[in-house]
Amino acid sequence: MVLFNVSRVETTPFGDQKPGTSGLRKKVKVFKQPNYLQNFVQSTFNALTPQNVRGATLVVSGDGRYFSKDAIQIITKMAAGNGLRRVWVGQNGLLSTPAVSAVIRERVGIDGSKATGAFILTASHNPGGPNEDFGIKYNMENGGPAPEGITDKIYENTKTIKEYLTADLPDVDITTIGVTSFSGSEGQFDVEVFDSASDYIKLMKSIFDFESIRKLLSSPKFTFCYDALHGVAGAYAKRIFVEELGAQESSLLNCVPKEDFGGGHPDPNLTYAKELVARMGLGKSNSEVEPPEFGAAADGDADRNMVLGKRFFVTPSDSVAIIAANAVEAIPYFSAGLKGVARSMPTSAALDVVAKSLNLKFFEVPTGWKFFGNLMDAGLCSVCGEESFGTGSDHIREKDGIWAVLAWLSILAYKNRENLGGGKLVTVEDIVRNHWATYGRHYYTRYDYENVDAGAAKELMACLVKLQSSLTEVNEIVSGIQSDVSKVVHADEFEYKDPVDGSISKHQGIRYLFEDGSRLVFRLSGTGSEGATIRLYIEQYEKDPSKTGRDSQDALAPLVAVALGLSKMQEFTGRSAPTVIT
């Protein structure tokens, strides 16, 4: 066994290590500054209780983006230096964010050990490569992201840090499955490299009826396409969709994980998942080839998902509502009923209508998956989702891109259980249109203004808050822009009191609520690494089944005009159009 020594290395604080919505995300060059990563890692260890450090088991892996391999070696040495007992690494440093959550919750080591936390190395849907983003976040014992109490403590520590602990271990081979053991003055330290997919697959098999999905996927009537955008989902897609469920290998697009995501932007939306969008017949291409019945994409770390039907886009807000409405029938894990459902504030109210009709507990939380975690730990929520292409359940404490695809495939398999031999296939589009006919439709769109001047974005938001003090003035402006939209009856900044721990989160987005149930929401993104991103969420409810089939951009055009006018978007940002529309 290789012997190691621990040393204390002097360091000085960096002023910019405040974790955002999902950990610390910066350009790779920022992370490459001497001691930058080390300071953050030590500040995290210092923020944890001693039993989660000394003698503990830590998972370290991520979406495989550029700089991950270096980061894994640095963190492993620091883990040994800080007296941890072992580090678990997915083969080649790959573990999707949902798989990390599953590993923390479910995996038992050879000697019965369990992990108490993880460093997830990802900047999620942000591009990767030497000139792009890297990120790190800490997840807790329940498998969910560290709560604000911990991330605040980490940030405080980063401001005063003077030294970090590290061990003089050699670099560990993370390409080969197996255990490497080292010996320090306080005892043994192991690095265990394990298969990235098997724990996760085991969990999925305990949730879904793989046999019925296999029947669907192997039926010649059903065609399928999955785009991993060169993110870590590729490490799971072949194993699950092809090997376990019988899909054709040719149905996988961009499923080889790459450090730079093939130069693309690994965000599963209509703008960035270009190849899939074209293949599904949604782009401008005039291809003669018949698109598949079902398409889906994931982001870099595979917690997000986009679901498409043939020439048909499913909004994430509808997706979670439809999963909730069908879960009990179609997914064995939920057969005893749902404990409750939840959505983030800017997500459309489609889920609210389902919750009301099925008499389910319902929660509206601020943006950020961590808010769902508390509800799930307290047994209050089974299914939840966000407009930002996140959907999941209480099987783990992260959103789960592949789970969402399996949920949709389960619903399709259930609806088609008698149609696969003969009869007309119930399509994704049929499922969505039937849902609208039953529950009404929430027309929904999101406009993103990326990388705008941070000062201008703040001013725009401040003006919108100020405007809220006079609804008369607001309504004068609204009717001046568009005479045929209904009146604003309430406006506020969303504030949330966590029903489990009583904590209060303020300034979670600016809302304008209209008499007919329409909503405009303005928020600043918490996940960017440069400048500011303004998000504008626009929603309108239509109950009349004869009016639920319109094009959503047409239906929402009057509200869009109101939103742009009310916020003076062009005046503040200089932008005449958003960067991305979903």
Q: How big is the chain by its Cα radius of gyration, in Å?
A: 24
90 binds ligand G6P (CB under 6 A): no
Q: State which of positions 106-125 bind ligand G6P (CB under 6 A).
A: 124
Choose among ligand G6P, Zn ion, none what residue 309 binds, the Cβ cut-off being 5 to 8 Å by kind: none
In the complex with ligand G6P, the residue whose CB is nearer, 13 or 147, is: 147
- Name which position in 182, 226, 369, 522 contacts ligand G6P (CB under 6 A): 369
**Pick from 112, 110, 117: nearest CA to 49:** 117
The nearest distance, CB 461 to ligand G6P, in angstroms, is 14
In the complex with Zn ion, the residue whose CB is nearer, 66 or 334, is: 66
The window from 250-258, 361-369, 486-494, 573-581 that contacts ligand G6P (CB under 6 A) reads 361-369
Residues marked active site are found at: 124
347 binds ligand G6P (CB under 6 A): no
Choose among ligand G6P, Zn ion, none what residue 147 binds, the Cβ cut-off being 5 to 8 Å by kind: none
Determine the residue type at 540: Q
- Name which position in 63, 267, 352, 386 contacts ligand G6P (CB under 6 A): 386
H/E run at residue 448: strand 441-452
| Cα 351 from Cα 347, distance rounded (Å) | 9
82 binds ligand G6P (CB under 6 A): no
**Pick from 258, 229, 19, 46: nearest CA to 135:** 19
Q: State which of positions 155-174 bind Zn ion (CB under 5 A).
A: none
| Three state DSSP letters for 173-224 | CCCCCEEEEEEECCEEEEEEEECCCHHHHHHHHHHCCHHHHHHHHCCCCCCE
- Name which position in 57, 158, 367, 548 contacts ligand G6P (CB under 6 A): 367
| Cα 312 from Cα 445, distance rounded (Å) | 15
Residue 492 phi, psi (nearest 5): -160, 180
126 binds ligand G6P (CB under 6 A): no
Q: How many other β-carbons are positioned within 10 Å of the β-carbon of residue 205?
A: 13
| Cα 440 from Cα 453, distance rounded (Å) | 39
- Name which position in 535, 536, 538, 559 contacts ligand G6P (CB under 6 A): 535
What the block records as the tokens of 508 is 């979670």
In the complex with ligand G6P, the residue whose CB is nearer, 279 or 535, is: 535
Choose among ligand G6P, Zn ion, none what residue 64 binds, the Cβ cut-off being 5 to 8 Å by kind: none
**Pick from 414, 486, 444, 415: nearest CA to 351:** 444
The neighbouring-strand residues paired with 434 are none
- Name which position in 62, 64, 368, 509 contacts ligand G6P (CB under 6 A): 368
Choose among ligand G6P, Zn ion, none what residue 542 binds, the Cβ cut-off being 5 to 8 Å by kind: none
The nearest distance, CB 370 to ligand G6P, in angstroms, is 8
What is the three-class DSSP state of 484?
A: coil
In the complex with ligand G6P, the residue whose CB is nearer, 85 or 125, is: 125
319 binds ligand G6P (CB under 6 A): no
Contact flags string 21-40 toward ligand G6P, x per CB under 6 A: xx------------------
Residue keyed to tokens 């980490």: 154
**Pick from 319, 217, 226: nearest CA to 268:** 226
The nearest distance, CB 23 to Zn ion, in angstroms, is 11
Q: Which residue is nearest to ligand G6P (CB)?
A: 525
Among left, alpha and beta (phi > 0; psi -120 to 50; other), residue 257 is beta
299 binds Zn ion (CB under 5 A): yes
In the complex with ligand G6P, the residue whose CB is nearer, 283 or 526, is: 526
124 binds Zn ion (CB under 5 A): yes
| Cα 400 from Cα 579, distance rounded (Å) | 26
Orientation of helix 401-415 relative to helix 428-439, angle to 10°: 80
Choose among Zn ion, ligand G6P, none what residue 390 binds, the Cβ cut-off being 5 to 8 Å by kind: ligand G6P
In the complex with ligand G6P, the residue whose CB is nearer, 413 or 510, is: 510
H/E run at residue 309: strand 305-309
In the complex with Zn ion, the residue whose CB is nearer, 92 or 124, is: 124
Strands 57-62 and 117-121, by their bridges, are parallel
The nearest distance, CB 172 to ligand G6P, in angstroms, is 29
Q: State which of positions 390-449 bind ligand G6P (CB under 6 A).
A: 390
State the distance between the two ends of the chain, measured CA to CA, in whole angstroms: 54
Q: State which of positions 494-533 bind ligand G6P (CB under 6 A).
A: 525-527
Whether 138 contacts 150, CB under 8 Å = yes
Orientation of helix 36-47 relative to helix 148-160, angle to 10°: 130
| Cα 462 from Cα 235, distance rounded (Å) | 44
The nearest distance, CB 369 to ligand G6P, in angstroms, is 4
**Pick from 52, 23, 199, 50: nearest CA to 116:** 52
Choose among Zn ion, ligand G6P, none what residue 82 binds, the Cβ cut-off being 5 to 8 Å by kind: none
What is the three-class DSSP state of 534?
A: strand
In the complex with Zn ion, the residue whose CB is nearer, 62 or 578, is: 62
The nearest distance, CB 299 to Zn ion, in angstroms, is 4
Q: What is the size of the binding site for ligand G6P (CB under 6 A)?
A: 14
DSSP code per residue over 135-177:
EEEEE-TTSSBPPHHHHHHHHHHHHH--EEEEE-PPPP--SS-
Choose among Zn ion, ligand G6P, none what residue 199 binds, the Cβ cut-off being 5 to 8 Å by kind: none
Choose among ligand G6P, Zn ion, none what residue 299 binds, the Cβ cut-off being 5 to 8 Å by kind: Zn ion
Binding interface with Zn ion (CB under 5 A): 124, 299, 301, 303-304
Binding interface with ligand G6P (CB under 6 A): 21-22, 124, 344, 367-369, 386, 388, 390, 525-527, 535
